[in-house]
Amino acid sequence: MTARRHLLGLEGLPRTELEQLLSRAHEYREGRVGGRHLSGRVVANVFYEPSTRTRSSFEVAAAGLGAHVLNWTVTGSSASKGETLVDTAKNIAALGVSVIIVRHQHSGAAALVARSVGCSVINAGDGQHEHPSQGLLDAYTLWRRWGGVLENKRVAIVGDILHSRVARSNLHALKALGVKLVFCGPPTLLPSHLSQLGVDVTTELDVALNGADAVMMLRIQKERASEALFPSAAEYHQRWGLTTARAAALKPEAVVLHPGPVNRGLELSPEVADGQRSLILEQVENGIAVRKAVLEAVS
């Protein structure tokens, strides 16, 4: 597997490196490799924003590789006394940490940390920029479901594209892996430059779902929206939500993904979230194997 110092985003990652990461994740997922590559090393989770899946998943992955995990959060830390991100990261690195996994509300925060410390840095989500390990675990979940074949599959990515770092990481990874992408959402949540990136763009959900092999529903990020970007939750669900009726009209083998946390009844109905097509919990399960592969690549 190609070694790299940091993983700050998936933009520009060669297809061969993406495929190596997916293959290595698969080896972890299938229990074909169990090395404690991080034995005696310390991995730090530095999360300035809340997380259920990513932080826990990195913790389980790092512990599975034999690392000691240091979990840092804003609450109870000296960030609440005004210590900067860079000072915090430098002090955590000075503890002898090998890898800092950072989540921050500002785009570029992980790159800033990477420029400031001597250890490896993994971006666990920076503002509206990227969430590379999520993009990889989404790609892996589809790769695994489809027997390692992503080329020419059609994936619809639906919802709050504007604020979504998950959408950006998926765009870079899935496009590089040969997937045909269609992005869909209200006009106010679709970045204007999307159509220049070699993907289809539509505001009509039924157009996006037509022929889709997979549908990735994105969370409405109320915390990042500075104004009302659609009239009401009920109207959003009616026009851009994956309702039970819409899910029933998908191709028989089509699958549904969501990075979580899910706003039930807004992006998709509870019946779809918990239904036969849903890979939502499998995404979480696969995240551990993918993060083991990522940790190994940067260590």
Regarding 45 and contact with ligand CP (CB under 6 A), the answer is: no
Q: Is residue 277 a contact partner of residue 299, using CB atoms and an 8 Å limit?
A: no
Q: Exactly one of 33, 146, 200, 260 binds ligand CP (CB under 6 A); which one?
A: 260
Regarding 239 and contact with ligand CP (CB under 6 A), the answer is: no
Q: Exactly one of 37, 53, 68, 251 binds ligand CP (CB under 6 A); which one?
A: 53
Nearer to ligand CP, 2 or 52 (CB): 52
Nearer to ligand CP, 158 or 201 (CB): 158
Close Cβ partners of 24 (under 8 Å, ≥ 6 residues apart): 1, 33, 293, 296, 297
218: left (phi over 0), alpha (psi -120 to 50) or beta: beta
Residue 16 CB coordination number (10 Å): 10
Q: Is residue 258 a contact partner of residue 280, using CB atoms and an 8 Å limit?
A: yes
Regarding 98 and contact with ligand CP (CB under 6 A), the answer is: no
Nearer to ligand CP, 93 or 257 (CB): 257
Regarding 221 and contact with ligand CP (CB under 6 A), the answer is: no
Q: How many residues bind ligand CP (CB under 6 A)?
A: 10
Edge to edge, the sheet with strand 200-202 lists 200-202, 180-184, 154-158, 214-217, 255-257
Regarding 123 and contact with ligand CP (CB under 6 A), the answer is: no
Q: How far is the CB of 54 from ligand CP (least distance, A)?
A: 3
Q: How far is the CB of 64 from ligand CP (least distance, A)?
A: 18
**Burial bucket for residue 61 (CB in 10 Å: 0-12, 13-18, 19+):** buried
- Positions in the binding site for ligand CP (CB under 6 A): 51-54, 125, 131, 134, 259-261
